[in-house]
Structure 1
Amino acid sequence: MIIPTVAIIGRPNVGKSTLFNRLVGKKLALVDDRPGVTRDRREGEARIGHFNFRIVDTAGLEDADASSLAGRMRGQTELALSDADAVLFLVDARAGLTGADRQFAELVRRSGKPVVLVANKAEGGQGLSGAYEAFALGLGDPVPLSAEHGEGMGTLLEALLEALPEAAAAQATDDWDDERDGADKPIRVAIVGRPNAGKSTLINRMVGTERLLTGPEAGITRDSISLDWDWRGQAFKLFDTAGLRKRARIDDKLEKLSVADGLRAVRFADVVVALLDATIPFEKQDLTIVDLIEQEGRALVIGLNKWDLVADQAGLLKELREDAARLLPQVKGAAVVPLSGLAGRGIDRLMEAVVATHAVWNRRIATARLNQWLGEVLDGHPPPAVAGRRIKIRYMTQVKARPPHFALFGNQLESLPKSYTRYLVNGLREVFDLPGVPIRLSLRTGANPFEKKKRTRD
């Protein structure tokens, strides 16, 4: 199956991210009225009708010094242009052509890639008349479109099929399998942390290219960007996320959207790497982030980034691992890995920890083993009596994995003290080797079979 890559190119605020969301069928890219919301390249699987392709959302093209943030954003867009099989060049039909449109149309033309000219926001009479103005760019017939309302998608499909005839012909005789032809699904890994912890720099080093925008400015990343990566024959999908600040400090609408996007990446991940700045580790916000990861039921690995800036590394590592055990009892035993994203050190150790923690997260324990352990626990440390009545625990089973979730059956379990359930959870973690993952324990009280007969006699 030939799956071509199509890049969406255009100046800021012409609706590139809105079109991206429309094509992938999900609100993956952040959208706002102000220009310059998108900074990194975002990729997704798109489909119009029967035609499937990989779509790349890009930052708006702007003239700027190469070393500035805007210049680095433009560099990412130009890389997307060079990697694409075809280009959707967007203009704003309502605003009409601008000097920037003409300038960047020349850039697209010089790339030599097949170009589909799209006049977005063409709904209504004013938009349609503005679409005709786009003929002046010399990029062929413009496709009048409304990404927001989904109008003109059929015409866009026809233009894409004409621009990519080989892929169109191949897909006409093939059934595209959205589950990767039965191949193993990748392990989904989200990298989260406070702003400027080095998340994007780490991922760039992992994939071996400057794929994500980086720099000294805090908060560069806005969208949660996903990247496919292969490490030692195992497929991964990496998610870079916006820095998570204290809620009280988030007052900008766009930053709220960025944080919400990052939280969604955590929910869809299998393993989450909480990236800490080793020079100021375990700040209150770090603990809040780990607590969020535990609440969402994700497996956790702690990465100590910027380790090359730390003195007395052996002594500090021992101290920080002790701190992690003390401060994060809900994910006791989580791997703590020192690394340097900038220097590329510790990445293999980090990924070994990710794979091992992922296996724990998926682990299932036989009911016979669980109840053998439970019997020994009850003999050695039975639950306390409540109001003179003994709490009876009958048996335990694992109801699901991802994360490990156990059900405890018995009578009067609603009176079981929380201290005793913590005792059971800690025992499960230690005996069955479940470090670094949340453990869920449900209490299920069986119905009294004599209750109905008693009510009948009364």
Structure 2
Amino acid sequence: MPAKVAIVGRPNVGKSTLFNRLVGKRLAIVDDTPGVTRDRREGAARLGDLEFIAVDTAGLEEADDESMAGRMRQQTEAAVREAAAVLFVIDGRAGVTPMDRHFANWLRKQKRPVLLLANKCEGGAGGFGVAEAHGLGFGDPIPVSAEHGEGLYDLSLALIEHIAGNAEGVPGDDADELDMVEADIDIDPDAEAPAEDPNRPIQLAVVGRPNAGKSTLVNKLIGSDRLLTGPEPGLTRDAIAIEWEYEGRRVKLVDTAGLRRKARVEHKLEKLSVADTLRTVRLAQVVVLVLDGALGMDKQDLTIADHVMQEGRALVIAVNKWDAVEDRALALKEIEDRLEKSLPQARGIPVVTFSALTGRHLDRLLPAVMKQYERWNRRIPTSQLNRWLEEMIARNPPPLAGGRSVRIRYATQVKARPPTIALFAPRAEFIPESYLRYLINGLRETFDLQGVPIRMHLRKGKNPYVRDED
């Protein structure tokens, strides 16, 4: 494993800005509001020839362990324990505060190499804060500007002696995957995905409304309190990726911020969190939509499910807090009926019930995820596809157009992930949407593609495998 470098400090000193600068992408949400970061986030970082894993952390605050601030601090403490070196960031313009001194005393007890950074020193600003920082006892502070990229060369020289011996380099595939989850890039949803590679992790996003138990679910799956949890809704703000393994297959679990109705999202921070979640869905392969079993499935859940299907991702419905549901048979039937009625394109989506808190029946979830992933990757041989098409047309021919029959001459699967079928028909414009739905439903039943988004495109033209056609 490459060496880890934890970035710590009190709230609003620029830790996330520095993290984004080191990883070379805007992965962490940055805002002037103190306490934006709550969970710790990891990313493949580079400074010159030095490669390591940077760890962004929540702002250090004095608080009771059971409070939200206290639980955030515990996440930061865990990051420090795992780190080969610590970057202790202060605000060079504000100088050293009593809170900085308090946590400097704490850091000295952790037996980790500490580099003191005076941030916000662009253009020579923050000279007083740099001078004052000498009194913290971590040697010469390094003046930097995370926003403008100043002082990073001096940082690399100071850092190399602490982590060069521990780092094994950041494998290219791992770095790609860490960046892939939340990189701010444009994606062509109709572009052919790369062939299935069993060595690359499955991208699994966990989404849902606030307080549905997403972070609790991820913690239970990985067997560690890696993510901040609690009764407060909206605890998670960033999409946090965690490398994991299930039955020998690598999985990249991505916990996301809760999605509320658009009309209720007013604050800038929540808008940024929602955008981060939607971007994560777009780059996922399988999405687990977590419901609160006691609340059932409401309109917002259906909106999220519809968005996942529109993005062409495989979907699994995970009903959490099932131990709190009194009439379970009725609750399950209501969820399935709601899906059938309001989301017909998601027909056959697996619905898994469990309790993330106790772990009861949680072993049902990952088999359902792997099954959906296999369906999402499925390729249907052209010969089988056209035999199926002949049977479907014989059973129910396309409706007449202008008194003339409409012929579908040929079908082929042009891509997987999700399964995408091209139909060749000279008068394609006369084939109604209702007939395409008939074909898609038949495709699901015949080839076991239940709950997987299927795209079907009509193309004018001749069968490319036949020289002459009538």
Aligned residue number for residue 271 of structure 2: 256
Q: Give the unaligned 5+ runs of structure 1.
A: 449-458
Equivalent pair of 1:5/1:53 in contact (CA under 8 Å): yes
Aligned residue number for residue 96 of structure 2: 97
Aligned residue number for residue 177 of structure 1: 171
For 2:148 and 2:412, locate their aligned partners in 1 and report how far apart those are by CA, in whole Å: 50
Equivalent pair of 1:202/1:342 in contact (CA under 8 Å): yes
For 1:406 and 1:127, locate their aligned partners in 2 and report how far apart those are by CA, in whole Å: 61
In the alignment, structure 1 residue 205 sits paired with structure 2 residue 220 = yes
Q: Give a deviation string over 1:129-153, Cα, whole Å, max 9, x none.
A: 5323322211112221111111222
Aligned residue number for residue 410 of structure 2: 395
For 1:81 and 1:177, locate their aligned partners in 2 and report how far apart those are by CA, in whole Å: 23
Greater shift after overlay, 121-130 or 244-253? 121-130
Equivalent pair of 1:115/1:163 in contact (CA under 8 Å): no
Aligned residue number for residue 358 of structure 2: 343
Equivalent pair of 1:116/1:163 in contact (CA under 8 Å): no
For 1:155, the aligned partner's letter is D
Q: 1:74-85 residue pairs with structure 2 within 5 A?
A: 74-85=73-84
What is the percent sequence identity of the aligned residues?
58
Aligned residue number for residue 24 of structure 2: 25
Q: Give a deviation string over 1:256-303, Cα, whole Å, max 9, x none.
A: 011111111111111100101111111000100001101111100000
Residue 386 of structure 1 and its aligned partner are, at CA, apart by: 1.3
Equivalent pair of 1:198/1:305 in contact (CA under 8 Å): yes
Residue 406 of structure 1 and its aligned partner are, at CA, apart by: 0.8
Describe the SS at the equivalent of 1:392: coil
Residue 213 of structure 1 and its aligned partner are, at CA, apart by: 0.9
For 2:112 and 2:371, locate their aligned partners in 1 and report how far apart those are by CA, in whole Å: 43
For 2:222 and 2:67, locate their aligned partners in 1 and report how far apart those are by CA, in whole Å: 23
For 2:97 and 2:390, locate their aligned partners in 1 and report how far apart those are by CA, in whole Å: 77
Aligned residue number for residue 235 of structure 2: 220
Aligned residue number for residue 194 of structure 1: 209
Q: Residue 422 and residue 165 in structure 1: after superposition, are their counterparts in 2 closer, same or farther (change >3 A)?
A: closer
Residue 388 of structure 1 and its aligned partner are, at CA, apart by: 2.1
For 1:75, the aligned partner's letter is Q
Equivalent pair of 2:84/2:166 in contact (CA under 8 Å): no
Aligned residue number for residue 312 of structure 1: 327
Equivalent pair of 1:81/1:87 in contact (CA under 8 Å): yes
Aligned residue number for residue 440 of structure 1: 455
Q: Give the unaligned 5+ runs of structure 2.
A: 176-196, 464-470
For 1:72 and 1:405, locate their aligned partners in 2 and report how far apart those are by CA, in whole Å: 46
Equivalent pair of 2:95/2:132 in contact (CA under 8 Å): yes
Picking from 282, 289, 305, the partner of 1:274 is 289
Q: Residue 177 and residue 209 in structure 1: after superposition, are their counterparts in 2 closer, same or farther (change >3 A)?
A: closer
Picking from 293, 301, 316, the partner of 1:301 is 316
In the alignment, structure 1 residue 158 sits paired with structure 2 residue 157 = yes
For 1:179 and 1:126, locate their aligned partners in 2 and report how far apart those are by CA, in whole Å: 40
For 2:56 and 2:287, locate their aligned partners in 1 and report how far apart those are by CA, in whole Å: 25
Pairwise CA RMSD of aligned residues? Answer: 1.8
Q: Give a deviation string over 1:379-438, Cα, whole Å, max 9, x none.
A: 221111112232221101111111111111111211211100111111111111101211
**Count of matched residue positions in the alignment of Structure 1 and Structure 2:** 442
For 2:280 and 2:295, locate their aligned partners in 1 and report how far apart those are by CA, in whole Å: 25
For 1:37 and 1:280, locate their aligned partners in 2 and report how far apart those are by CA, in whole Å: 29
Q: Give a deviation string over 1:34-68, Cα, whole Å, max 9, x none.
A: 11101111111111222211111110001111111
Greater shift after overlay, 233-242 or 124-133? 124-133
For 1:235, the aligned partner's letter is R
For 2:26 and 2:68, locate their aligned partners in 1 and report how far apart those are by CA, in whole Å: 25
Residue 109 of structure 1 and its aligned partner are, at CA, apart by: 1.3
Picking from 331, 344, 353, the partner of 2:346 is 331
For 1:430, the aligned partner's letter is E
Q: Residue 313 and residue 183 in structure 1: after superposition, are their counterparts in 2 closer, same or farther (change >3 A)?
A: closer
Aligned residue number for residue 451 of structure 1: none
Equivalent pair of 1:276/1:286 in contact (CA under 8 Å): yes
Describe the SS at the equivalent of 2:413: strand
Equivalent pair of 2:40/2:56 in contact (CA under 8 Å): yes
